[in-house]
Every structure is written in C-alpha cells, then in structure tokens.
C-alpha cells in the first residue's frame, strides 16, 4: 500500500479534473464517457437522477431551475440553490461533493482513494477552505489536504523544467479560468515555494466573456431582426420567457470564443421567437476584433490587479522571471498579448493551461504522507479537553 496520498483534484468553477502521481510521473484521468480530461462542474436534478458533468450541462438548457453551475463562486457562504425538481435547496458544499464523487469514476484502475489533495484559489479564506474540505469529506475522502492553485501551477512547471533555473527567483501566476481570476506572486527560496501576495475576482472568467458576446454582439443583432421589448431581461431573468434560450446562447458563444483563438471570424446560429410570435433565424458573424473589443476592459482589469501586486511589493517588471499563464481563458491570444504589452513581463505558456493545476496537485500529493488509521474513522471516547482558540 502506498504511503503517500498520490491523488490530486482541481475543483474548478467551470471544469474539474483528477490526476494521480505514480513513480515520478502524473496521469490525468479521462472521463470513460467521451474520454475528456475535464468534467464540467455542473449538477442537474432530473426526477430521481443526478446528472453531473456534460449531461448536467446539456440539461441546463432544458431545465435551468433544476440545474446549477459555477457554485464554487459561492463556496463558504450561507447561500444555497433552490432546486425546482426537488423542491429543496442544495449548498455549494453539497454540489461540490457530487462533482468530487463523479471524478472518482474517472479512475480506471479500480482504486477508490480515501485521501486527496484538492486545490483552492490563493484568495480563499478559512471559511471557504473549510467548506472545500467538507465537500471532500462528503464525497467520501477521509483525508483532504488543500493546496493553493498558484503553488500547484508552479509545481507543474517546475517538474517539467530541468536544472535549478527557478531557485531563488520569483514570478507571477496568472490564472484566468472559466469562472474566476487569480493572480499571485510566487517566490522560491532555499527550495521552498511560497505565495507572497495575491489578488483576484471570483466573478471574472471565461463564462463572463461568453455572456459579453451574447449581451453586446448577439442580442443587438437579434433586436434588429424582430420585435422585442426587453430581450436581455427576458433571456437572463429566471422567470423570463426566453430564459432557457439564454443558456443555449451562452454555449454557442463559448464555442465561438474557442474558435476565435485560432480563426479571425466565426458565426453563431440563432433561432428565437420575438414578442409577436415570429421565429427569428439569424447567422450572426463574430470577428476576433469584435470579441477583443468586448473583453478588453475585463482583461485590462486583470492587468491592473497584477500591477497592484508589483506596487505593493515594491517590484519592477524586471524583478520577475515571467508571468506563468494557466486557466483555459489564457488560450485567448489577446489575453497573452495584452498582459505582455501592458506590463512588459515575458509571458510563459510552456505548460498546458487547462490541466497544469491538477498536475501540480498530483505531484504534491505524491510527496504528502497518507495519514489514515482505523482510529481516525471512529469516535474517540469522551475525555477532558484543553482548547486553544486562534484566528488565522
């Protein structure tokens, strides 16, 4: 039996992954259905069934009131999500546990891990961190170790490079994912990695870029072709006539966004009924320059957060080795080019931005002792307690 944890999970806002450390290398597991590494962090409730991942994401367009995504943004809060089909509510912890359980099905070796390393944003406070641990315990893990995402990304990079080029240096981890943004100053001294400072926004990511495409490009084009009094509200409001269409448009916008990373233009096929009952069909052209125009302000905001870290730590761009790009949204050419242009720091894209964090988590897990015992699974007999209270 292994003496180390070995399993790592990237519990993401829009997508999650699981990997295992084995004899010096890391395997990122794939979903046995579809063979994708990523599992959409979406949970749907249909009658007595729970649909997690791609099936849940598809069901979002059919029954948005019984489907939940992006719940990581509310982790550690008292908020819960009303599930129409159940007539009850689920917390972000409950929903995260469903995702973690589903990730276990990716493991093709028949193993059932009892311990895991789960990554969290550097911005997570104690309450959010404890909520993540609780989700892990609900999913059946007896030992849950948390690891900050910038450290995980840095470990993935360090294990891919050779030599001692990172020793006694510092860099920025720029993590722009599907639902959240984090930027962290990471420093390594005498072999120890530390997050020195960080900034972030739990409501800024690729999903917000998708919404901007719909709001600022698709909706104005639709309005010109039919009779609509308040189409945006009808789309976005939970009680709106076109609410289910909103999620279909977001999915189309996401595909367009991905295509625009390699193409100069693409099209979004739209079919919607206007206020007069007429079905409006349109093929809306979206160019890369159109897309870049609607996300420019958001990207510049991330650059300002990075600049804040530099100022707060009295650093010049020349003091940094590079900006390490992670998160699926860093595939967008404008994101890479804009950060380099505004800050004058080399941009490092040597690691796969979609799986770097889970790979780093697995490397960390491969060196983290397994601390499971029969005693840990039982209730200790009552005895006098000495309690020391502190606040981190």
Using one digit for the tens of pLDDT, what is the confidence trace for 193-232? 899 999 999 899 999 999 999 999 999 999 999 999 999 9
Confidence at 164, pLDDT banded by 50, 70, 90: low
**Residue 74 has what pLDDT?**
95
pLDDT, tens only, 82-97? 999 999 999 999 999 9
Determine the Cα–Cα distance for residues 113 and 103; give it in Å rounded to an integer.
11
Whether pLDDT at 314 is above 90? yes
Distance CA 110, CA 43 (A): 24
User: With 60 as the cut, is the pLDDT of residue 392 above it?
Assistant: no
Taking CA 263 as the corner, what is the angle to CA 160 and CA 39, rounded to the nearest 5 degrees? 50
Q: For residue 272, is pLDDT > 50?
A: yes
- Using alpha carbons, list the distances in angstroms from residue 244 to 168, 170, 229, 249: 52, 46, 18, 9
The pLDDT of residue 383 is 39
pLDDT tens per residue across span 133-161: 999 999 999 999 999 999 999 999 999 88
* Summary mean pLDDT of the chain: 92
Q: What integer pLDDT is reported at residue 238 of this predicted model?
A: 87
CB 9 within 8 A of CB 16: yes
Pairing of strands 7-10, 25-28: unpaired
In order of 70, 85, 96, 285, the CA distances from 222 in angstroms are 27, 32, 36, 12
């Amino acid at each position: 039996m292994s003496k180390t944890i070995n399993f790592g999970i990237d519990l993401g806002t829009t997508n999650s992954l699981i990997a295992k450390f084995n004899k010096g290398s890391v395997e990122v597991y794939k979903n046995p259905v579809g063979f994708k590494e990523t599992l959409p962090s979406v949970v749907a409730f249909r009658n007595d069934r729970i649909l997690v991942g791609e099936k849940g994401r598809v069901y979002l367009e059919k029954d948005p009131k019984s489907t939940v995504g992006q719940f990581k943004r509310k982790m550690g809060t008292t908020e819960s999500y009303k599930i129409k089909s159940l007539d009850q509510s689920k917390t972000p912890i409950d929903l995260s546990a469903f995702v973690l359980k589903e990730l276990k099905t990716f493991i093709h070796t028949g193993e059932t891990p009892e311990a895991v390393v789960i990554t969290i944003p550097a911005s997570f406070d104690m309450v959010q961190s404890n909520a993540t641990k609780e989700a892990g315990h609900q999913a059946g893990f007896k030992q849950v170790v948390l690891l900050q995402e910038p450290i995980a990304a840095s470990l993935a990079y360090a294990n891919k490079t050779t030599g001692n080029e990172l020793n006694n240096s510092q860099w920025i981890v720029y993590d722009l994912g599907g639902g959240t943004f984090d930027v962290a100053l990471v420093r390594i001294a005498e072999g120890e990695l530390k997050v020195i400072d960080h900034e972030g926004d739990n409501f800024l990511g690729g999903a917000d870029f998708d919404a901007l495409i719909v709001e600022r490009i698709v909706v104005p084009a639709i309005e010109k072709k039919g009779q609509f009094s308040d189409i945006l509200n009808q789309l976005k409001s939970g009680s709106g006539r076109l609410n289910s269409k909103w999620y279909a448009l977001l999915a189309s916008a996401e595909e367009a966004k991905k295509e625009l990373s390699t193409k100069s233009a693409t099209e979004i096929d739209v079919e919607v009924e206007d206020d007069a009952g007429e079905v409006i069909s349109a093929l809306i052209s979206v160019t890369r320059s159109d897309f870049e125009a609607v996300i420019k302000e958001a990207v510049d905001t991330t650059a300002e957060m990075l600049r804040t870290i530099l100022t707060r730590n009295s650093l010049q761009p020349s003091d940094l080795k590079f900006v390490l790009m992670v998160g699926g949204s860093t595939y967008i050419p404008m994101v890479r080019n804009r950060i380099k242009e505004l800050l004058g720091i080399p941009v490092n894209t040597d690691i796969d931005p979609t799986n770097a964090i889970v790979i780093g988590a697995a490397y960390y897990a491969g060196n983290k002792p397994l601390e499971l015992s029969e005693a840990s699974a039982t209730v200790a007999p009552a005895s006098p307690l000495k309690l020391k209270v502190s606040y981190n």
